[in-house]
Structure 1
Amino acid sequence: MTRATGEIRSTKVFLGGAWPIRTQAVSHVGDACMVEGVDDFDLDDLNMMRRQYPDRRVTLDGHVITVWPASPA
């Protein structure tokens, strides 16, 4: 299940996209995107984010999914 972009507290405007249902906030640190959940994310949430960002490293640490900056070419 996903959550609509407009329902999430964010420090940046997003153009569409789906976020895991547990998402509470999305913020940016440089080019990295931090997705914070109200509870721990699971592997389904991680895999969903990996499918949305196939060219970037996506990691899971409990209630935070990080989408790391793209590697230089």
Structure 2
Amino acid sequence: MNQHPTGVDTVHRLRRVVWPAAAYEVTPVGDAWVATTATEFALEDFHLVRDQFPGRHVTLDGDVITVWPPTSLTRQLLAT
């Protein structure tokens, strides 16, 4: 994970993921990702993350955005 002036930058499945500028920490937890901020994420932040993880369940809970692990069906589709 790298901190950039415009937010946090990570690599997921060999592609760059740009996290919201408000994110001060992005943590991989197994196949999931958890982004946290000191205040609350905006709806635009949620959409930024969700658009980068098609087929994954993404949730926003105030100061936390979670990208949940792919389901077994999603894993099968990604493998093909």
Q: TM > 0.5 between the two?
A: yes
1:9-55 deviation per Cα after TM superposition (whole angstroms, max 9, x unaligned) = xxxxx323211010000112221110011210011110111100011
Supply the RMSD in Å over aligned alpha carbons: 1.8
Q: 5 Å matches for 1:19-58? A: 19-58=19-58
Bigger Rg, structure 1 or 2:
2
How far apart, CA to CA, are the structure 2 residues paired with 1:45 and 1:29?
Answer: 20
Say yes or no: does 1:59 pair with 2:55. no
How far apart, CA to CA, are the structure 2 residues paired with 1:43 and 1:36?
Answer: 14
Match of 2:17 in 1: 17
Kindly indicate whether structure 1 or structure 2 has the higher relative contact order, using CA contacts under 8 Å at least 6 residues apart: 1
TM-score normalized with structure 1 length: 0.78
How far apart, CA to CA, are the structure 1 residues paired with 2:54 and 2:17?
Answer: 14
Which 5+ residue runs of structure 2 have no aligned equivalent? 5-9, 74-80
Whose helix proportion is higher, 1 or 2?
Answer: 2
Deviant stretches of 4+, over 4 Å: none
